[in-house]
Every structure is written in structure tokens, then in C-alpha cells.
Amino acid sequence: MTLTQLLSRLEFIKAPAPVQNKELGEVETVVRGIVQAVRERGDAAVRAYSKQFDRYEGEALEVTRAEREAAVAALDPQTRADTEFAIARVKAFAEAQLGTMQPLEVESLRGVHLGHRIIPIQRIGAYVPGGRYPILSAPVMTIVPAKVAGCDEVIACLPPNAHPAMIAGCHLSGADRIFRVGGAQAIAAMAYGTESMPPVDKIVGPGNAYVNEAKRQVFGQVGIDQLAGPSEIFVVADETADPRMVATDLLAQAEHDIHTRVGLITTSREVARQTLKEVESQLEDLPTANVARPSWVEFGEIVLAPDEATMIAYSDHVAAEHLQVHTRDAQATGRKLRNYGSLFIDKRASVVYSDKCCGTNHTLPTMRAGRYTGGLWVGSFVKVATHQWMDPEGVEAVAPPAMRQSATEGMEGHRRAAALRLEAQA
């Protein structure tokens, strides 16, 4: 089914407003200047941008051990307990995932030995956003899996004006070093290094448009996890769905940002109609409606599909970051879906649990990237690197075809390299 054919089968009960990103060109230009300045002037440029963008006047970029311990000591006891609960859950799941990744040694032909090793990335840069709210789970999601993977060093960067509890979260999660550096300048500093900060091998973690653009520009110099856009949630539902619950979940995600994309895809006109009413009703007393309402007005959608197959096809086209399944047999529906960042099966599974503390990672693909990648996980912090070695029988098996192929291609150096080994054991 083509996209045109698919859309022709859908009825938009509530359609998103047309959206254009007019700021993209400006963001790219600004970030290019920041990256170049940090690359050339190091700490001096970082301090200048911190003063300009974050109004930070301090000279010290790195958070000291004493400051880290003070931030932890200042945590409310329940907040600390909840943070440690989240760390334990994320750690346990990351350890279980790492356990599924095994080294390999195989003799593919007699005398031809092939394999791979699971090698931790040496140094990770974890960007911890400040954002609209102090997202206490943010450092947990980026730092803990890296430490489980066995990375030698994790460098955490967060805006100078970030809530002190965020420093505590970085410390409790196992960050080796923490820096008060935010925005595009943090990405540039981690990528190229400065007098204070060593360069990292890979940068992970979400951020605003400037952070995202900086990650795009430094990719190649370092690895990155993904290019993340605003958050997304969609719900696929049949007539058994609870409109009140669906609306609550949509608005819970909408309060992240005025650009959050939220949507319902359902086979039930009544569920669609009642969910629309519930959203409008709940917005009346939602304390974060100043954020959630613009998100809903501009990006919210409710789509009526004629059957389950069309509902699933449109969901796979959207490839939402978070995808909830509210159907009579949610497990069966879930098995039919393939494009999403993380799947929440049945009504008891809520995005909020994953966002905060249940163990799966909340750093997920957006902007339809769920078509080709999953989210951040312990495997994001290791390399699967192959190796090979030969017995004499192996050389006898592979040298002749390698020589013939090299000769056909006109690559005489290659042919000689293969021939030499064959001659050496004659």
C-alpha cells in the first residue's frame, strides 16, 4: 500500500496544524560558529558562551568532588531513594541485555577461524539537558548503561544553571567527571577537547535544537547516539480503550514541550470522539497546560482507521518514539507492529514508567527514525569488532580464490599477498 493509498483510507478526527521549521538555517549557522570557536579557543570560548547563553560567570568548568557530594547530601531522602531505585532498575536491565551479547569464535572452514569480541568504548560523553524541568532520570539513562558496558570513563556535561539534583543524579549514576557546560559548546568541547575536558569517543543524550545540530556537525569526529527531535507519543486503540486514560497519557507527554507530537490511531469512532472531549476537559485543570495545550493544538492528531491492518500500517508509517497499545489483545497487536522507539503493551504499561524508573531506556528515536533504529541501550556503548586467523589448511582453502579474484580485478598487490602465504607453507 502506498502512502497516498494509506492516507486515503484514514479520517482525521483532529489533524495537526501545518508546521514549518523556519529556524533551521539560523540554528545551523550559529552552531557552526560555536563549534569552530570551541575547537580553536578551548576553555576560553566555552566560558564566553556560558556567560552569553547561561549567564554563568564562574571560572571553574568542572564540578569538584566536594560539590558533587554536597549535591547528594542536599537531596531530599525520598528523592534520593527514588533516584537509586531508578538506577538499580536501569542497571539490572542493562546487565541483562549485555548478557545476551556474547563473543564469537567459529571455524567456518577447516583452518579458517573467525570471530568477534565485545569491546567497550573507551570514553563516553553524556549530555544531560537542563530543559523545562529537572528530569532526574536523564543522567541515569545515559550514564548507567555506559558504566555497565565497561566504558573506561564517562564525562557528563549539564548546563551551569541545571538543578543541583541533576549533579547528584550524575554522581549517583557513576559519572567519572562532571562539567558545568551546556548547549552546543558542550558538544563541541566533548568532541574536540579543551584544556579542561578530554575529547570523548562517542556523545549520547538528548538536547534542544542547538545541541542536536551540534551533534550533527561533530559526527565523524566522534560517534553519536542519534539526532533527536521533540518527544512523541502515539496510542493504537480499538473499542476497548479507555478514552480518559488515552487522553491522560497524551497530555502527560505533551507537557514535555510545545513541539511534542501526540496522537491516537483507533478503529473506534466513539473512542476517537470521547478522547477528543477528554483532552479538552483535562486541559482545563492541568497545571502544565501552558505547554501541553500548544503541543496539542499544533501537533496533536486523532486518526480513525477502518480496520486493524490500516491502523497498524499508519502506526508503522509514523514510527512514534513511544507507542502504547490499548486493544483487546494487546500482545497480539504488539507483535504486528514493527516501527517504534519503545512499545508499551496493554493499559497497565505507561510511558511514565519507562521515562522515570522501570528499567528500559527513555532516550529513543524520534522523527520516524524508529524505522531503522532502536533507542539507547547498553549495546550503544560497545563495539562488536571481528577478527580472524588461519591454520595452514585455511590458507590452502582461501588463498587460491583470493588470488583469482585479485587478478580479475587487476589488483596485483593483493594477488601477491595471498600467493606469498600459500608459497610460504609449500
In percent, the amount of the chain with pLDDT more than 90 equals 89
d(CA 315, CA 378): 27
- Write the DSSP symbol of residue 369: G
- Residue 141 and residue 145: Cα distance in Å, rounded? 7
Same fold, 24-224 and 229-374: yes
322 given a catalytic annotation: yes
The CA R_g of the chain, rounded to the nearest whole Å, is: 25
Angle value at C-alpha 339, between 262 and 278, nearest 5 degrees: 25
Q: What are phi and psi of 178, to 5 degrees?
A: -125, 130
**What is the distance between the alpha carbons of residues 350 and 381, in angstroms, rounded to a whole number?**
27
What tens digit of pLDDT does each residue of 50-71 get?
999 999 988 899 999 999 999 9
Q: For residue 24, name the pLDDT band (cuts at 50, 70, 90).
A: low
Do the Cβ atoms of 306 and 9 come closer than 8 Å?
yes
Distance between CA atoms of residues 206 and 228, nearest Å: 6
Residue 413, SS3?
helix
> Beta-carbon neighbour count of residue 32 at 10 Å?
14
Write phi, then psi, for 249 (nearest 5 degrees): -65, -40
More confident of the two residues 21 and 413 = 413
Amino acid identity at 387? H
Report how far residue 245's alpha carbon sits from residue 35's, in angstroms, rounded to the nearest whole number.
44
CB distance 144 to 175 below 8 Å: no
How buried is 421 (Cβ within 10 angstroms: 0-12 exposed, 13-18 middle, 19+ buried)?
middle
Cα–Cα distances (Å) from 68 to 10, 46, 141, 193, in that order, read: 53, 21, 19, 22
131, pLDDT greater than 50:
yes
Kindly name the residue from 259, 301, 321, 362 that is annotated as catalytic.
321
What is the C-alpha to C-alpha distance for residues 58 and 359, in angstroms, rounded to an integer? 36
- Residues 138 and 156: their CA atoms lie apart, in Å, by 11
Among candidate residues 171, 256, 259, 322, the one labeled active-site is 322
Q: Is the pLDDT of residue 254 over 80?
A: yes
Higher pLDDT, 208 or 66: 66
First to last CA, the chain: 60
Q: 24-224 falls under which CATH superfamily?
A: Nitrogenase molybdenum iron protein domain (3.40.50.1980)
DSSP three-state, residue 366: coil
Q: In what order do the strands lie in the sheet with 223-224?
A: 177-180, 153-158, 123-127, 202-204, 223-224
DSSP result, 72-106: HHTS-HHHHHHHHHHHHHHHHHHHHHHHT---EEE
Q: Is the pTM of this model over 0.75?
A: yes
pLDDT band at 377 (very low <50, low <70, confident <90, very high): very high
- Identify the pLDDT of residue 26: 87
Give the pLDDT of residue 81: 96
The domain spans of the chain are 24-224, 229-374, 391-424
Residue 387 bears catalytic tag: no
Mean of all residue pLDDT scores within the chain: 94
**What is the Cα–Cα distance from 87 to 75, expressed in whole angstroms?**
15
Q: What is the mean pLDDT of residues 225-243?
A: 95
Q: At the top level of CATH, which class does the domain 229-374 belong to? A: alpha beta
Which amino acid would we find at residue 104?
L
Confidence of residue 20 (pLDDT cuts 50, 70, 90): very low
Report the run of H or E that residue 297 belongs to, with start and end. Answer: helix 289-299
- Compute the average pLDDT of residues 20-36: 79
